[in-house]
């Protein structure tokens, strides 16, 4: 136990003194493994962690979706489309940020990974908000929080993994994610509206003018065609999400070539930036795997959840504790690592207390998704920071009011299971 706190202290110290987050987790994880297992096994963990983490076809979606967004942005497609949205609702205070939320929902229906969605929005929607004198703090936060919609709105890699780990119907999970996804989006819009009314972080845009709005909307067409093609490829059965991402890259390339808005240099820069974000994300995932590995060997998570499972407290209290544990884990770890560590104990516990497996899946997904927004490891904020160059501290401060909203939505989902369950029950009972 003493060693465990020493390792946590080491991790915190490294991060405070600006050692990159990935490196800090790798160092602390290796030190922990050495204390726990001995030097030789600890070093042996390093043999193949980076390879095993990166050699994954599912991960391909990350560089490809980032590249698609980079191409559309460099080729001026996203900006024109967002300006069109802005022409319609930008005259309202906070309208541009709300348009970003709407775009996040559409993107969420294409993307199963939160970081990929955040990266796309950070590359396209953020510069528009900045250009219209939105505060960096609000704009980067909206992009980070909007990105989390991707794992609740189907398709979602997290929901699929939950379904596989717990043998819960993935079909039902997907349908169940829709209403909580829209609820979150509505909550987001509400917080933006409040911030816009009470502060000057989200100023009014240009006054509304029908002719200009219609004319500008022409530029939305290629974007919509592309989104429909990518959605069509997935739902029409032509491609898996990773493959659809590749189609999206090709589609974006065709659009910007037809528009003649992309130079060869910009093409190279887009690829370079996509690689950059991918390297950063994979390094964090690989090093957090080393740290998760250390946590597994300490048996700390195991012991904590076992205690919860054997005590005689009321079930609501136990559920609250499970959620809290998941939230704390979310501060340090990757979503999929949390699922694989916690579900073997938390799922049977929840089932033993009589909770619905689909409902629990959505609640757990919502909970680990909040972890993407909290320091020290808040992957969405990191991705947004990498793309926008807004300091992390500023982003985390901007996220704070949205975090409050996320907690309110989570409490609503916990208190009223019907919010989650009525849609799958409606569709499955036919």
Residue 377 C-beta: closest distance to Na ion, Å: 5
Closest by Cα among 107, 45, 47 to 78: 107
Closest by Cα among 365, 350, 346 to 413: 365
Q: Residue 294 or residue 382: which is nearer to Na ion going by CB?
A: 382
Q: Exactly one of 226, 234, 255, 399 binds another protein (CB under 8 A); which one?
A: 234
Tokens describing residue 378? 């808040």
Q: Determine if 47 is a binding residue for another protein (CB under 8 A).
A: yes
Q: Which does 312 bind (CB under 5 to 8 A by kind): another protein, Na ion, none?
A: none
- Choices 37-45, 131-139, 213-221, 414-422 (CB under 8 A): range interacting with another protein: 37-45
Q: Which does 343 bind (CB under 5 to 8 A by kind): Na ion, another protein, none?
A: another protein
Residue 275 C-beta: closest distance to Na ion, Å: 24
- Choices 199-207, 243-251, 317-325, 358-366 (CB under 8 A): range interacting with another protein: 243-251
Terminal-to-terminal C-alpha distance of the chain:
53
Tokens describing residue 385? 């920071």
Distance of CA 357 to the CA centre of its chain: 22
Q: Residue 216 or residue 278: which is nearer to another protein going by CB?
A: 278
Q: Determine if 222 is a binding residue for another protein (CB under 8 A).
A: no
Q: Exactly one of 1, 2, 5, 17 binds another protein (CB under 8 A); which one?
A: 17
Q: Determine if 45 is a binding residue for another protein (CB under 8 A).
A: yes
Q: Determine if 264 is a binding residue for another protein (CB under 8 A).
A: no
- Choices 87-95, 270-278, 326-334, 356-364 (CB under 8 A): range interacting with another protein: 270-278
Q: Residue 26 or residue 241: which is nearer to Na ion going by CB?
A: 241
Q: Determine if 338 is a binding residue for another protein (CB under 8 A).
A: no
Assess contact for 120 and 69: CB atoms under 8 A: yes
Closest by Cα among 413, 392, 410, 385 to 326: 410
Q: Write the DSSP symbol of residue 58.
A: G
Q: Determine if 357 is a binding residue for another protein (CB under 8 A).
A: no
Tokens describing residue 119? 């990266």
Radius of gyration over alpha carbons of the chain, in Å? 22
Residue 410 C-beta: closest distance to another protein, Å: 25
State the SS3 of 100-163: HHHHHHHHHCCCCCHHHHHHHHHHHHHHHHHHCCCCHHHHHHHHHHHHCHHHHCCCCHHHHHHH
Residue 323 C-beta: closest distance to another protein, Å: 20
Q: Determine if 347 is a binding residue for another protein (CB under 8 A).
A: yes
Three-state DSSP class for 285?
A: helix
Q: Determine if 391 is a binding residue for another protein (CB under 8 A).
A: yes
Residue 46 C-beta: closest distance to Na ion, Å: 24
Q: Determine if 298 is a binding residue for another protein (CB under 8 A).
A: no
Q: Residue 47 or residue 312: which is nearer to another protein going by CB?
A: 47
Residue 301 C-beta: closest distance to Na ion, Å: 16
Burial class (CB in 10 A: 0-12, 13-18, 19+), 18: exposed
Residue 7 C-beta: closest distance to Na ion, Å: 18
Q: Which does 404 bind (CB under 5 to 8 A by kind): Na ion, another protein, none?
A: none
Q: Exactly one of 7, 11, 15, 69 binds another protein (CB under 8 A); which one?
A: 15
Tokens describing residue 406? 């996320």
Q: Exactly one of 299, 315, 316, 415 binds another protein (CB under 8 A); which one?
A: 299
The residue written with tokens 């504790």 in the block is 321
Q: Determine if 236 is a binding residue for another protein (CB under 8 A).
A: yes
Angle of helix 157-166 versus helix 335-352 axis, rounded to 10: 40
Tokens describing residue 207? 């006054």
Q: Determine if 170 is a binding residue for another protein (CB under 8 A).
A: yes
Residue 116 C-beta: closest distance to Na ion, Å: 10
Q: Determine if 38 is a binding residue for another protein (CB under 8 A).
A: yes
Measured distance CA(405)–CA(20) in Å, rounded? 30
Closest by Cα among 101, 189, 116, 99 to 156: 116
Tokens describing residue 30? 């290796």
Q: Exactly one of 7, 32, 63, 111 binds another protein (CB under 8 A); which one?
A: 63
Q: Which does 278 bind (CB under 5 to 8 A by kind): another protein, Na ion, none?
A: another protein
Measured distance CA(404)–CA(416) in Å, rounded? 18
Q: Exactly one of 182, 297, 309, 423 binds another protein (CB under 8 A); which one?
A: 297
Assess contact for 126 and 387: CB atoms under 8 A: yes
CB-side neighbour CA atoms (13 Å) of 123: 28
């Amino acid at each position: 136990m003493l060693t465990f706190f020493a390792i946590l202290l080491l991790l915190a110290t490294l991060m405070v003194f600006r050692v990159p987050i990935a490196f800090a987790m790798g160092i602390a994880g290796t030190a922990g493994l050495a204390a726990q297992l001995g030097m030789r096994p600890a070093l042996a963990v390093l043999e193949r962690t980076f390879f095993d983490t990166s050699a994954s076809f599912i991960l391909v979606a990350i560089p490809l979706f980032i590249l698609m967004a980079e191409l559309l942005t460099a080729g001026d497609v996203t900006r024109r489309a967002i300006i069109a949205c802005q022409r319609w609702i930008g005259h309202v205070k906070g309208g541009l940020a709300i348009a970003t939320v709407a775009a996040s929902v559409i993107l969420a229906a294409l993307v199963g990974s939160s970081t990929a969605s955040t990266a796309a929005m950070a590359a396209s929607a953020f510069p528009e908000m900045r250009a219209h004198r939105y505060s960096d703090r609000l704009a980067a936060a909206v992009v980070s929080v909007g990105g989390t919609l991707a794992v609740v709105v189907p398709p979602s890699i997290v929901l699929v993994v939950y379904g596989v780990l717990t043998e819960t119907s993935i079909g039902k999970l997907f349908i169940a994610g829709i209403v909580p996804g829209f609820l979150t989006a509505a909550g987001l819009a509400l917080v933006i509206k409040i911030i816009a009314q009470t502060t000057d972080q989200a100023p009014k845009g240009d006054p509304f003018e029908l002719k200009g709005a219609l004319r500008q909307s022409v530029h939305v067409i290629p974007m919509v065609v592309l989104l429909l093609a990518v959605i069509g490829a997935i739902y029409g059965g032509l491609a898996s999400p990773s493959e659809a991402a590749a189609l999206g890259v090709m589609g974006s390339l065709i659009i910007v070539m037809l528009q003649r808005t992309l130079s060869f240099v910009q093409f190279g820069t887009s690829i370079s930036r996509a690689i950059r974000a991918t390297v950063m994300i994979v390094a964090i995932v690989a090093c957090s795997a080393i740290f998760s590995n250390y946590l597994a060997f300490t048996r700390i998570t195991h012991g904590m959840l076992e205690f919860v499972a054997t005590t005689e407290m009321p079930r609501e209290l136990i559920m609250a504790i499970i959620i809290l544990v998941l939230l704390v884990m979310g501060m340090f770890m990757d979503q999929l690592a949390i699922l694989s560590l916690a579900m073997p104990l938390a799922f049977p516990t929840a089932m033993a207390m009589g909770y619905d497996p689909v409902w629990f899946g959505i609640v757990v997904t919502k909970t680990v998704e909040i972890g993407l927004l909290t320091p020290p490891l808040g992957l969405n904020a990191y991705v947004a920071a990498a793309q926008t160059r807004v300091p992390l501290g500023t982003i985390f401060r901007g996220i704070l009011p949205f975090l409050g909203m996320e907690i309110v939505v989570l409490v609503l989902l916990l208190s009223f299971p019907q919010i989650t369950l009525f849609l799958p029950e409606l569709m499955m009972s036919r």
